[in-house]
């Protein structure tokens, strides 16, 4: 039974004293009034294919066989890289697996042959983080119920190069899929699971994962982990300073649960009974461990410390997965916006690689299947960011590279996909955000190019990867 809290002391997103009901505590999440609904334009219309598909950035999203960012990869890092693999160990590789699913590969702690903790003659294994996995044909309580995929998955769970940690943003069926979770547990039994409040009990009842392998967090809570050859080992805060003094190491990974503006529920009876969230994963390293730190530490966020030795430790990579989130009550200008994204940017930015939703859920896909267009500018928008909203979120969190997700998979037609891509491209251009297809992002000295001061954003094919150098 969750411990009861006094109303004055509980977080403002908790709707009761037992952490079993939650709310979005911002004006930007308020439901529209009857007046606003009556003043809205009729949301249904017809697609103009000539205009939509004739857009300069219009593209169909394909399903491609993943190469995980480096063909011929074995999931391990070596100093002897080829032209088709990252040229330095300081790269993060993100692969979009469709909808909100993404696999992120981050480099190990040590990366040169003369200074690593792996046994002699062995390479060190990269770390693989899996977000909101769904490989099923349908998003629903069974494979005979729920919305069906328009684009298939690019691979099976067994084809993943690794899976050390699984992150769940909330319990909607398109983000928490039973069949996918069971397959992950079968093929990667040692993976850890990171979930928001209320989901741990569901996970323990669904798969026979050890209780200690599931980490349940509230908004703004975090956990710090060290990476060993056997996986992720938690570091208690009480012993963290002592460990740092003895080993001169920062915790390799810091995992933070951050707010999102959304909701939860798998039936009418459990609405908002579990929390929804986003995730930030930060990798820390030191100059002793990382031969490239001295050349790139100026653009990395330094960890706080109280000693000269600890001042050497710098953040070497940050990933943000927004889960599913809204941004404002309505797309009209002047509508209240959610303040959490600026707070995330101030606390964690700049963020090297971000995955952010650019479209609504798939339950309304039948409308485009019928050939109609549902305008997201004329329906309540508090719980799902529009492509334009996501461009604003990109700037608010100070993202360096953003991959648009949560589109093109559970939709009714290709028109929905193209509309999301073209609106996202236009919004990025208007805000001075470079489109991913246009390259850019840095130079040989590790400095951000002048034209990329607002970062880059764009979309990938399902199964395609983006390699991001840590500046």
The binding site comprises 173, 384
Query: What span, in angstroms and rounded, lies between the C-alpha atoms of 53 and 186?
Result: 42
Please provide the DSSP assignment of 119-185 as one string.
PTT-PEEPEEEEES---SSEESSSTTSSEEPSS--SS-GGGSS--SEEE----STTTS-HHHHHHHH
SS3 196: strand
**Contact of 338 with 26, CB cutoff 8 Å:** yes
Given the structure tokens 């979770």, which residue do they identify?
Answer: 181
Query: What span, in angstroms and rounded, lies between the C-alpha atoms of 440 and 195?
Result: 35
CA-wise closest residue to 420 among 391, 387, 388, 392:
387
Query: What span, in angstroms and rounded, lies between the C-alpha atoms of 173 and 239?
Result: 39
Token pair belonging to 355: 């995955």
**Contact of 14 with 21, CB cutoff 8 Å:** yes
- The beta strand positions in 50-111, using DSSP E, are 76-77, 91-98, 101-106
CA 299 to chain CA centroid, nearest Å: 22
Dihedral sign computed on CA atoms, order 457, 458, 459, 463: negative
CA-wise closest residue to 131 among 405, 390, 386:
405
* Dihedral-angle region of residue 406 (phi above 0 means left; psi in -120 to 50 means alpha; beta otherwise): left
Max distance between CA atoms of the chain, in angstroms, equals 71
Given the structure tokens 């990476």, which residue do they identify?
Answer: 227
Chain length of the chain:
471
Query: What span, in angstroms and rounded, lies between the C-alpha atoms of 10 and 18?
Result: 9
CA-wise closest residue to 127 among 41, 210, 190, 50:
190
The phi, psi pair for 369, rounded to 5°, reads -60, -35
């Amino acid at each position: 039974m969750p411990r009861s809290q006094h109303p004055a002391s509980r977080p403002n997103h908790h709707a009761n004293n037992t952490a079993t009901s939650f709310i979005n505590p911002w004006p930007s999440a308020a439901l529209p009034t009857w007046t606003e609904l009556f003043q809205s334009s009729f949301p249904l219309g017809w697609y103009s294919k000539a205009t939509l598909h004739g857009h300069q950035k219009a593209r169909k999203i394909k399903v491609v066989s993943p190469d995980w960012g480096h063909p011929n990869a074995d999931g391990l890092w070596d100093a002897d890289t080829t032209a088709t693999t990252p040229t330095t160990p300081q790269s993060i590789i993100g692969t979009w697996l469709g909808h909100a699913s993404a696999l992120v590969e981050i480099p190990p702690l040590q990366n040169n042959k003369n200074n690593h903790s792996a046994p002699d003659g062995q390479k060190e294994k990269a770390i693989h983080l899996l977000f909101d996995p769904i490989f099923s044909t349908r998003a629903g309580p069974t494979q005979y119920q729920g919305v069906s995929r328009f684009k298939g998955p690019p691979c099976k769970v067994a084809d993943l190069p690794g899976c050390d940690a699984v992150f769940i943003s909330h319990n909607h069926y398109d983000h928490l899929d039973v069949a996918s979770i069971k397959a992950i547990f079968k093929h990667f039994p040692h993976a850890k699971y990171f979930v928001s409040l209320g989901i741990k009990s569901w996970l323990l009842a669904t798969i026979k994962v050890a209780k200690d392998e599931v980490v349940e967090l509230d908004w703004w809570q975090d956990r710090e982990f060290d990476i060993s050859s056997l996986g992720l080992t938690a570091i208690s805060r009480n012993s963290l300073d002592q460990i740092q003094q003895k080993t001169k190491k920062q915790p390799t990974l810091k995992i933070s649960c951050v707010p999102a503006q959304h909701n939860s529920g798998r039936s009418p009876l459990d609405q908002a009974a579990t929390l929804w969230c986003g995730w930030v994963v930060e990798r820390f390293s030191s100059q002793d461990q990382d031969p490239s730190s001295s050349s790139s530490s100026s653009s990395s966020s330094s960890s706080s410390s109280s000693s000269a030795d600890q001042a050497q430790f710098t953040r070497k990579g940050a990933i943000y997965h927004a889960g599913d989130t809204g941004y404002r009550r309505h797309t009209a200008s002047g509508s209240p916006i959610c303040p959490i994204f600026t707070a995330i940017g101030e606390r964690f930015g700049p963020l090297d690689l971000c995955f952010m939703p650019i479209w609504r859920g798939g339950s309304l896909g039948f409308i485009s299947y019928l050939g109609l267009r549902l305008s997201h500018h004329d329906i309540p928008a508090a719980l799902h960011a529009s492509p334009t909203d996501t461009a604003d979120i990109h700037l608010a969190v100070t993202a360096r590279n953003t991959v648009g997700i949560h589109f093109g998979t559970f939709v009714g037609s290709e028109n929905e996909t193209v509309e999301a891509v073209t609106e996202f491209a236009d919004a990025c251009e208007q805000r001075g955000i470079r489109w991913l297809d246009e390259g850019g992002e840095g130079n040989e000295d590790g400095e951000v190019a002048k034209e990329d001061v607002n970062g880059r954003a764009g979309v990938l094919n399902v199964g395609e990867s983006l390699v991001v150098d840590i500046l």
